Amino acid sequence: MDANMAIFNGLLKGLGVTLQVLIYSVLLALVLSFIIGFMSLSKWRIPRWSATLFIEVFRGTSLLVQLFWLYFSLPILGIRLPAMLVGVLGLGLNYGAYGAVVVRTSIRAVPKGQTEASIALNMSPYRRMRSVILPQAFLIMLPTFSNLTIELLKGTSLISLVTLADLTFQALALRSATMETTQIFIYLLIIYFIIAYPITLGFRWLEKKQSVGRG
């Protein structure tokens, strides 16, 4: 019983770090998704190409490689970042690249007729985006954003490998201290699931709310 409590308390210490990194990197990824997503839809070459470069580099080189690169290489290049920032930056950049693709495809997925109707009503491009295209694209984005958030949550476990004391890190520490391997890892998996499930439910609720009245 005591051992159980000790394990549980130990893991809870890591929970705070995991949640903090999760929230910050979700915010960073969201902002990047829209900025890079819009850039990739631009008519000008330079923003479009930079967006493509960003997307392909961060999607193509594997999250752990990016985290290690930030963690090990930056100090050698003279840039010292707190471990927390490395985690948030690595996760945010990586999932921001995936999110940008979601933003781009969702905006493109809004039927052409909607754009044409907005032009026929003489709306400005800004108004068309704001009133007509984005609200519809947003609904298309939601399920994929839900999945991406879960992916990001799972990705936070990788920060344990750059010495951030998150849930996974604490579990490994507890394991060497108590050797209660089975319990520790079962608890750990359950805690992750308990964080993930409300996220999924929350997105489903949002989707339902957003799709009121739409066939």
Partner 1 sequence: MPRTSDASLLNQEPYVKYRNIGMKFGDTEVMKGINFDILSGEKVAMIGPSGSGKTTLARMLMTLEKPTEGTIEIGGKLLWHRRANGKLVDANLKHLRQVRGQIGMVFQQYNLFPHMTILRNVMEAQVHVLGLTKKEAEDRARKILKKVGLEHKCDAYPAQLSGGQQQRVAMARAVVMKPKIMLFDEVTSALDPELVGEVLEVIREIAEEDEMAMLLITHEMAFARDIADRVVFMADGQIIEQGPPEQIFNYPQHQRTKNFLSRFSTEFH
Partner 2 sequence: MWSWDFAISILPQLLQAMVVTIEATIVGFIVATVLGLFWTICRRSSIKPLKFAVVAIVEFVRSTPLLVQLYFIFFVFPTFGITLSPFSAGVLGLGLHYSTYLTEVFRTGIDSIPKGQWEASTALNLSKIKVWTHVIMPQAIPPIIPMLGNYFIVMFKETPLLSAISIVEMVQAAQIIGSNSFRYVEAFTDVGVIFLLLSYPASLLFQYTERRIQHRFDLSVKASKIEEDHYATNK
3-class SS shares of the chain: helix, strand, coil, % to 5: 85, 0, 15
Of 125, 136, 132, 148, nearest in space to 32 by CA: 148
Task: Identify what 196 binds: partner 2, partner 1, none; CB under 5 to 8 Å per kind.
Answer: partner 2
| Half-sphere CA count of 124, side-chain side, radius 13 A | 3
Q: Which partner, partner 2, partner 1, none, binds residue 176 by CB below 5 to 8 Å per kind?
A: none
Residues of span 74-113 touching partner 1 by CB under 8 A: 111, 113
With CB under 5 to 8 Å by kind, the binding choice for 24 among partner 1, partner 2, none is none
Contact status, residue 22 vs residue 156, Cβ threshold 8 Å: yes
Per CB under 8 A, does 123 bind partner 1? yes
To 10 degrees, the CA torsion angle through 25, 27, 31, 34?
100
| Residue from 23, 108, 116, 197 binding partner 1 (CB under 8 A) | 116
- Minimum CB separation from partner 1 for residue 203, in Å? 18
Q: Which residues bind partner 1 (CB under 8 A)?
A: 111, 113-114, 116-117, 119-125, 127, 131-132, 135-136, 139, 210, 212-215
